[in-house]
Amino acid sequence: MSAISLEETQALLAGRDLIAIGARGDDERRRRHGTRTTFVRVFEVHVDAVPETLPASAAAGEIRVVGRPRSLDAAVLAVTRATGLAAGTPVTAFSLADLVELAAGRLSEVFASLRQAGLVTIAEAPIDALEDAERAFRAAQEAGLAVPRVTVNAAAGSDKAPYDPARVIDRVRHLQDAVGGIRAFAPLPRTSSISHPATGYDDVKVIATARLAAGNIDSIQVDWALYGPKLAQVALTMGADDVDSVSPLQGDLGRRRSPIEEIRGNIKAAGLEPVERDGHFKVKA
């Protein structure tokens, strides 16, 4: 599929025929992936409180260190502890934007220290929080750190720069052209605007448009924990093909109500094939 322009992206988002836009997004998704739909079970640990052991009921495909580190030493310590905790499960850590702020101009030093501590993948890159995303990506890549997942922090802007999902999508597409290495783009904001809250209608239209406009990115992702199974299921029929943040905890709800069976059941109910992956985007055996 050839790239579409910013103007075409804006026209898609302005369109009122959600069914037609969604059908186009689904067609493109199926052209790329067929019915294959990947998902990952994520166990989150806070940078300041990495546990010594995992819960007995946890079955994670990714250990993700979350939270903003107070210092480089704190970041390195958290990565070291998480890597020991993971026992071979892929570890991802931190927001690229938080690391840029922490580095205060010493990006190469910070990234090299994290790589030496055992980190190979930065958990996310919030495109709206990165002033110079290309420079940050290149510095991470030069240190041997992958940044495979681009996210959006907030559906809010300022009077000078109001939030425009079309421009966000276009920026991510151009970033991929410049630096490569982006495996998944999660275009739905992690926090909503109080003054202009998004609707499910808006959200799935953004998913479909992202699939059509970001043709150089393999996967469009939706967050299971953040957006819930209902919206996630609809998103999977309109262009999304990857589900993030499925709970790794089995609990005591019984096999049929466990998180793993719930995600598989929702994907199958959408007429799709569930495929579990790990934090490095490798399919689990």
**Structure tokens given for 192:** 């909503």
Q: Minimal CA–CA distance to 39: which of 269, 271, 259?
A: 259
Which neighbouring-strand residues pair with 95? 124
Confidence of residue 257 (pLDDT cuts 50, 70, 90): low
Tell me the average pLDDT across 176-182. 97
Say yes or no to pLDDT of 127 above 80.
Answer: yes
Q: What are phi and psi of 113, to 5 degrees?
A: -65, -40
* DSSP helix/strand/coil, 92: strand
Confidence of residue 56 (pLDDT cuts 50, 70, 90): confident
Number of residues that this document lists for the chain: 285
Pairing of strands 91-95, 121-126: parallel
Give the residue carrying structure tokens 């109080």. 194
Give the residue carrying structure tokens 């910013």. 6
pLDDT for 258 equals 83
CB neighbours of residue 112 within 10 Å: 16
**Cα gap 128→120, rounded to integer Å:** 23
Tell me the average pLDDT across 3-24. 92
Between 258 and 194, the more confident residue is 258
Tell me the pTM: 0.93
* DSSP helix/strand/coil, 277: strand
**Cα gap 12→46, rounded to integer Å:** 39
**Structure tokens given for 79:** 């990565």
pLDDT for 195 equals 56
Q: What are phi and psi of 67, to 5 degrees?
A: 95, 155
pLDDT for 53 equals 92
CATH classification (class only), 6-155+162-276: alpha beta
pLDDT for 158 equals 44
Q: What are phi and psi of 277, to 5 degrees?
A: -125, 175
Tell me the average pLDDT across 107-113. 96
Name the percent of the chain in helix, strand, coil, to the closest 5.
45, 20, 35
- What angle do the packed helices 72-86 and 107-116 form, to 10 degrees? 30
**Structure tokens given for 34:** 């067929």
Tell me the average pLDDT across 36-59. 94
pLDDT for 163 equals 72
Tell me the average pLDDT across 209-230. 95
pLDDT for 74 equals 97
Tell me the average pLDDT across 182-194. 87
DSSP annotation of 195 reads S
Tell me the average pLDDT across 80-107. 95
Q: Which ranges of the chain would DSSP assign to H, the alpha helix?
A: 6-14, 18-33, 72-86, 96-103, 107-116, 133-142, 165-179, 200-213, 224-236, 259-269
**Cα gap 132→155, rounded to integer Å:** 19
Tell me the average pLDDT across 273-278. 98
Say yes or no to pLDDT of 9 above 90.
Answer: yes
Tell me the average pLDDT across 239-244. 98
Between 77 and 226, the more confident residue is 77
| Amino acid (one-letter) located at 52 | E
**Cα gap 254→62, rounded to integer Å:** 23
Give the residue carrying structure tokens 């480089």. 72
**Structure tokens given for 216:** 């150089």
Q: What are phi and psi of 46, to 5 degrees?
A: -80, 145
| Amino acid (one-letter) located at 59 | A
